[in-house]
Structure 1
Amino acid sequence: MSKQRIVIRRAIGELLSNHYDEPVYLERMPDMSNDEAAITCFFDSGDLDYQGVFASSNAIFIIGFHRKDLDTDDDLDVWSSFASNLLHENTLDGLVMGITEVGFEYGSDDAPEHSSLYLKFNISYVGK
């Protein structure tokens, strides 16, 4: 496992925890059965580019917003919009070269009791 991914995941989780009251889980499928709302953060996939002895990575990072009491996709969009603005072109104090939102997906089997929205970001960083 890449130590760089661990550091990035933790930095994003801390950033979100500082701005949201809901629990932030740094894993794909935590037990959220007792949570009315929760946020998940995880890497989905990535590509490495080697230039000599140096490697750079482009990875897809997912932030999931899960809530039991939201009735519409509009509610999820409003709740998650702050995270989009928070991460837009953020370098996490130089930890990454850039973060760009590249997509989204509603709902999932990961948390069937919750309404969910997954925001997808491309993160560019040095290392693997």
Structure 2
Amino acid sequence: MHYFIGPEVAGGLGDGTVMDTSMHPPTISSLEYEFDDWLGDHLVESFPCYIVTEVAASAIRKSGLSGCSFGPVFIKKSETFEEINPGMALPDFVWLKVDGVAGVSDFGLSQDNRLVISEDAIRVFKKFGLENADFQEFN
């Protein structure tokens, strides 16, 4: 069974993101994620990118889940983040690069560019925290 997942949106693409907007979805070659807040989920998004905590990425690697790879992400905290969460440290994050087939791989993108993940992937994330994501069955 596979599910559409709408992860927590904890911020947006930072000014340091390098992207080609001549296509849809845009192609990102360097990612900066700027946090405005963080509710604690180990998977967050800002279209068209997803980032995961390093501990979740390590568990994904160890589990042998398919359809993704990882890359570096530069993390920044906005002024809003600092006002809402003074002194709060964020865990280390990495860029979750989704390249699998939706409904076949553990991670894939649907035709309308929504993230689709398997039950196995959900189980991995739930070990660490995935309380603010929305799920819908993928057919």
Q: Report TM bin, short chain.
A: 0.3 to 0.5
TM-score (norm 2): 0.36
TM-score (norm 1): 0.38
The one of the two structures with greater contact order (alpha-carbon pairs below 8 A, sep at least 6) is: 2
